[in-house]
Amino acid sequence: MAKYVIKRVIMALITILVVACVTFLLMMSVPGSPFNDEKITAQQMAQMDAKYGLDKPLLVQMANYMKGALHGDLGVSLKMQKDRPVLEIIAEKFPLSAKIGVIALIWAVVVGVPLGCLAAYNRGKWIDSLLRIISTLGISMPGFVVATFLLILFCNEDAPFSFLGIKTIFDESQGVRAYFMPCFALGLYPMCYIARLSRSSMLDALGQDYIKTARAKGLATPKIIFKHALRNGVIPVITYLGPLTAFTLCGGFVVETVFTIPGLGRYFVQSVQNRDYFLIMGTTIFLATLVIVMNLVVDILYKVVDPRIDLAKGD
């Protein structure tokens, strides 16, 4: 196992380096500049390029950036929070996004998996149809629709749940009430997707011979489902959870924008729109690292869930 992890870490470092180089080249090939605006003159633009080293040849810029990154310097924001170190922005924004992401993930898994099991166990019955409709609806609804719907339900003056006193503008001091809407909106899609995944993998597992044997032996239904079938049924969910966790922890652009959450999510989209070069690089490298780490965790979890899996062999 240790050998396997070391090998994966080395591969991860190479992957991050490749991702960084490709992102840098792609980013610089896109037209536009972080300093562009309607009134800027060519001379002012040139002065700003010189100030941030953007007047140098592309490969020199890339080499300088990589050198800095290796020393923990991801540069400064060029537009969105001008001159603020990118690392500082990520360190400040990530905890809140991660907090909301973790809660969203927990409710998505805690609700999604049992719903999937329930639907699979009641295959073809009305409860299965109902759950399929709900999960399809949840998957089809864009994030901004869900978020706006929640605002209408909870935050308008005449809203049916306005008595709960949930504020439109995210206010951490409200505790649970502050987190309710963003966590629900962020977790709805994964919850529905997990329910569908669990349902199909559970259907497969429930048809296996060992489950039939368990039934023949007279084991109780919950024990059959949660002890025997779920072990196999949950593997596709774990696979899905790897990258999902990375993306969810980094926050959702729509959810953070609608609920005015000062998280990291919006920076992934807006840094590109603003051509905030070093912020694009910083957030991309950070997300890539997180995805790689989560995939590694998933691989290790396979072994925990199903001891028959041989990681080294699989590799």
**Residues within the interface to another protein (CB under 8 A):** 30-33, 35-44, 47-48, 50-51, 79-84, 89, 92-93, 99, 102-103, 106, 148, 151, 155-157, 167-176, 178-179, 227, 257-263, 266, 273-275, 304
- 206 within 8 A of 270, measured Cβ to Cβ: no
Give the dihedral of Cα atoms 308, 309, 312, 315; nearest 10 deg: 150
The SS3 assignment for 309 reads coil
CA dist 143 and 72 (Å) reads 34
CA dist 70 and 15 (Å) reads 14
Nearer CB in complex with another protein: 132/167: 167
Nearer CB in complex with another protein: 135/268: 268
Residues whose CB falls within 8 Å of the CB of residue 230, separated by 6 or more in sequence, listed in order = 113, 117, 202, 205
CA dist 133 and 130 (Å) reads 5
Shortest distance (Å) from residue 86 CB to another protein? 13
- 190 within 8 A of 244, measured Cβ to Cβ: yes
Shortest distance (Å) from residue 204 CB to another protein? 21
Distance set, CA 89 to CA 28, 136, 267, 279, 287 (Å): 22, 37, 10, 9, 14
Nearer CB in complex with another protein: 35/278: 35
CA dist 256 and 260 (Å) reads 5
* Short-list 305, 231, 303, 282, CA closest to 65: 282
Shortest distance (Å) from residue 105 CB to another protein? 9
Shortest distance (Å) from residue 16 CB to another protein? 26
Shortest distance (Å) from residue 138 CB to another protein? 21
Query: What are residue 76's phi and psi, to 5 degrees?
Result: -120, 160
Nearer CB in complex with another protein: 135/274: 274
Shortest distance (Å) from residue 125 CB to another protein? 29
- 268 within 8 A of 287, measured Cβ to Cβ: yes
Shortest distance (Å) from residue 74 CB to another protein? 15
Nearer CB in complex with another protein: 2/169: 169
Nearer CB in complex with another protein: 123/227: 227
CA dist 141 and 244 (Å) reads 18
Shortest distance (Å) from residue 266 CB to another protein? 7
Shortest distance (Å) from residue 123 CB to another protein? 26
Nearer CB in complex with another protein: 23/81: 81
Residues whose CB falls within 8 Å of the CB of residue 260, separated by 6 or more in sequence, listed in order = 168, 169, 170
Nearer CB in complex with another protein: 71/173: 173
Nearer CB in complex with another protein: 138/265: 265
- 263 within 8 A of 102, measured Cβ to Cβ: no
